[in-house]
Chains A and B, each alone.
Chain A
Amino acid sequence: MGVVSRGFAGRGRSDPKLPPGQYLTKDFPVLSAGPTPRVDTDRWAFAITAETGQEHSWNWAQLHQLPSETVTVDLHCVTKWSKLGTVWEGVSLDTLMAGVESAADHALVHSYGGYTTNLPLEDLLDGQAWLAYRYDGTDLEPEHGGPVRLLVPHLYLWKSAKWVRGIQLLLDDHPGFWESLGYHNYGDPWREQRYWGD
């Protein structure tokens, strides 16, 4: 146990749904390193690029022709807030990856506006990740990543790249934006992997 802070009682005991060091919020805070990019759905496109250079891409209409899923998930931001029971609609990465041939173990996610984040490819598969375009029953707002964001709720939220435009499959790991700036390469909230060395 750490040093006791005299006179600090705290608000309550921990909720078992909260990973260590997190607190509950009912709002939906926004965290981005820069301005919110404006992405017109008429020009929106998303591509998965295999390590061979082979590219699979979808435009807005094509994405919506794919079967969608509605999922209820908990969100955990590295800045300490967690939001439980959020409802999203989008396309599973399993659906998008179905026709992609790759021997890659790593993925680098790219966003409109230049943001990147990396994660193991296996964390995008088996019902763990979606391209989400609706939140809480309405079209995803730009400040929350609309028109389309990646949703990987089992990792800290910076991995769920907003304004997603592509996923690059790689044989070697390549750290993304925050991962190059001191944040953990994997980011498991239950192991409190916030920063390098955690």
Chain B
Amino acid sequence: MARAAVLGRLSWQVAQIAAVRPETDTARTLVLDVPDWPGHRAGQHVDVRLTAEDGYTAQRSYSIASAPGGPPALTVQRVDGGEVSPYLVDIAAPGDRFEVRGPVGGYFTWQPGDHAPVLLVAGGSGVVPLMSMVRARAAAGSRVPFRLLYSTRTPATVIYADELRRRSRDDHGLDIAYAYTRVAPPEHPRPPGRLDAVLLAEWGWPTEFAPNCYVCGPTGFVETVANLLVDAGHDPARVRTERFGG
């Protein structure tokens, strides 16, 4: 088991939004300026605390999208009717401030010293912490074989679409495949549909390669994919999950 990634006390720190980058119609990336950022590992998250004029506060957790070694960037998907995400996606602007605490989470992480092949399986905005791993691999010049299987509704809901296109061309040893659940692009080899055992077998790693598998997405997606991986013979101890939704 991974040892502690969070050492000592985690204090709230003021984060200023340095830049915002739209990713899709419903998601955007906030690059944060946190003066005493202690650094993070790929896959970790932060707690965000917003404070209203009257002192009311709301907290949520968001995955870090950026590679270690740089400023933390969060990619936030708007949840309709949500309290915090619509603010972060639609209202907050460069120069605005809120508080963060982190990084948090010492288990759903990847480090360049891990040499096993990696399978990343993303459902929707579950791609965010996995993107941090893809970026960490490139930043470290790692040659560890990576496969990213990204389930998304339509081509328009792909977060990081341009960067993923570029990386699948330039990052040697990184394979990327998409499973479109509603609408696939015309040239796509498969009709729209849910990620299944066939696609996982085709795009994942054979069990004898003993890959480390990271699965992130909504609860039902993660439950299904993790079960499929275990049914296919992967060691449950090598299947790490991060679930969101509620």
Binding site for B on A (CB under 8 A): 1-11, 13-14, 21-23, 25, 27-37, 79-81, 113-114, 143, 177, 180-182, 194-198
- Chain B, range 175-202, C-beta contacts under 8 Å to A: none
Q: List 29 A-B contacts (CB under 8 A).
A: A1-B51, A2-B49, A5-B51, A5-B87, A8-B51, A8-B91, A9-B52, A11-B58, A14-B56, A23-B58, A30-B223, A33-B107, A34-B236, A34-B239, A34-B240, A35-B226, A37-B236, A79-B61, A177-B107, A180-B3, A181-B1, A181-B6, A181-B105, A181-B106, A182-B5, A182-B105, A195-B101, A196-B10, A198-B9
Q: How far is the CA of A24 from the CA of B100 in the complex (A)?
A: 21
Q: How far is the CA of A196 from the CA of B9 in the complex (A)?
A: 6
- A2-B12, A36-B226, A181-B5 known; A25-B246 Cβ under 8 A: yes
Asked if A33 and B240 sit within 8 Å, CB to CB, the answer is yes
Chain B: number of interface residues, binned into ranges: 35 or more
- The tally of CB-CB contacts under 8 A between chains A and B is 143
Contact of B223 among A10, A143, A196 (CB under 8 A): A143
B96 at the interface (CB under 8 A from A): yes
- Beyond the given A2-B51, A34-B236, please list 12 additional residue pairs across the A-B interface where CB-CB is below 8 A: A2-B49, A7-B92, A8-B98, A10-B50, A23-B60, A27-B246, A35-B226, A79-B61, A81-B246, A195-B101, A197-B8, A198-B9
Asked if B227 and A3 sit within 8 Å, CB to CB, the answer is no
Contact of B87 among A3, A8, A80, A143 (CB under 8 A): A8
Residues of B within 8 A of A30 (CB): 219, 222-223, 243
Asked if A4 and B52 sit within 8 Å, CB to CB, the answer is yes
Residues of A within 8 A of B106 (CB): 181-182
Q: How far is the CA of A151 from the CA of B237 in the complex (A)?
A: 24
Residues of B within 8 A of A177 (CB): 1, 107
- A2-B51, A23-B83 known; A35-B236 Cβ under 8 A: yes
- Taking the closest CB of chain B, its distance from the CB of A173, in whole angstroms, is 16
CB-based nearest B residue for A27? B246
Contact of B53 among A4, A23, A37, A181 (CB under 8 A): A4
Residues of A within 8 A of B3 (CB): 180-181
Q: Name which of B7, B9, B52, B97 has the most chain A CB atoms within 10 A of its CB.
A: B52
Asked if B59 and A80 sit within 8 Å, CB to CB, the answer is yes
CB-based nearest B residue for A7? B91
- Chain B, range 74-91, C-beta contacts under 8 Å to A: 83, 87, 91
- A30-B223, A196-B8 known; A7-B51 Cβ under 8 A: no
Chain B 225-237 near chain A by CB (<8 Å), digits 1 or 0: 0110110000011
Q: How far is the CA of A9 from the CA of B50 in the complex (A)?
A: 9
Asked if A113 and B52 sit within 8 Å, CB to CB, the answer is no
Residues of B within 8 A of A5 (CB): 50-52, 87, 92, 96-98
Asked if A180 and B227 sit within 8 Å, CB to CB, the answer is no
Residues of A within 8 A of B246 (CB): 25, 27-29, 81
- A14-B56, A30-B223, A182-B5 known; A3-B99 Cβ under 8 A: yes
